[in-house]
Amino acid sequence: MAAHPASPAPVSVRRDLHSAPLLVAARGGAPERVPVWFMRQAGRSLPEYRALRTGHPMLPSCFDPAMVCEITMQPVRRHRVDAAVLYSDIVVPLYAAGIGVEIIAGTGPVVAEPVRTAADVERLPDLEPEQVAPIVAAIGLLLRELGDTPLIGFAGAPFTLASYLVEGGPSRNHERTKALMRSEPDLWHALMRKLAGITSVFLQAQVEAGVDAVQLFDSWAGALSERDYREYVLPHSAGVLAGLADAGVPRFHFGVGTGELLGAMAEAGADVVGVDWRVPLDVAARRAGGTRPVQGNLDPAVLFADRASIESEVRRILDEGRRTPGHVFNLGHGVLPDTDPDVLTRLVELVHARTP
| Res 256 pLDDT > 90 | yes
| Res 10 pLDDT > 50 | no
Class of domain 21-353: alpha beta
Q: What is the DSSP string of 83-137?
A: -EE-S--TTHHHHHHT--EEEETTTEEEESS---SHHHHHHPPPPPGGGGHHHHH
pLDDT for res 105: 85
pLDDT band at 356 (very low <50, low <70, confident <90, very high): low
Question: What pLDDT, in 10s, does the model give residues 88-99?
Answer: 999 999 999 999
| Res 4 pLDDT > 70 | no
- Chain-centroid distance, C-alpha 324: 22
Contact 284, 273 (CB under 8 A): yes
Segment (H or E) for 297: strand 294-298
Share of the chain above pLDDT 70, in %: 95
| Res 7 pLDDT > 70 | no
Question: What pLDDT, in 10s, does the model give residues 296-316?
Answer: 999 999 999 999 999 999 999
| Res 121 pLDDT > 90 | yes
Q: How far apart are CA 352 and CA 33, in angstroms?
A: 6
Q: What is the average per-residue pLDDT within 337-356? A: 92
* Backbone φ/ψ region at 165: left (φ over 0), alpha (ψ -120 to 50), beta: alpha
Question: What pLDDT, in 10s, does the model give residues 144-189?
Answer: 999 999 999 999 999 999 999 999 999 999 999 999 999 999 999 9
Question: What pLDDT, in 10s, does the model give residues 179-195?
Answer: 999 999 999 999 999 99
pLDDT for res 287: 98
Question: What pLDDT, in 10s, does the model give residues 198-244?
Answer: 999 999 999 999 999 999 999 999 999 999 999 999 999 999 999 99
For the chain, the average pLDDT equals: 94
Question: What pLDDT, in 10s, does the model give residues 284-298?
Answer: 999 999 999 999 999
Q: How far is CA 12 from CA 16, 215, 311, in A?
A: 13, 20, 41
Share of the chain above pLDDT 90, in %: 92
pLDDT for res 42: 67
The residues that are catalytic are 40, 44, 53, 89, 164
Q: Which residue has the higher pLDDT, 44 or 273?
A: 273
Number of H helices, E strands in the chain: 16, 9
SS3 state of residue 43: coil
How would you classify the pairing of strands 327-331 and 101-104?
unpaired
Cβ burial, residue 311 (10 Å; 0-12/13-18/19+)? middle
pTM of the predicted protein model: 0.94
Residue 88's closest CA among 126, 20, 41, 30?
41
pLDDT band at 11 (very low <50, low <70, confident <90, very high): very low
88 CB neighbour count, 10 Å cutoff: 26
pLDDT for res 308: 98
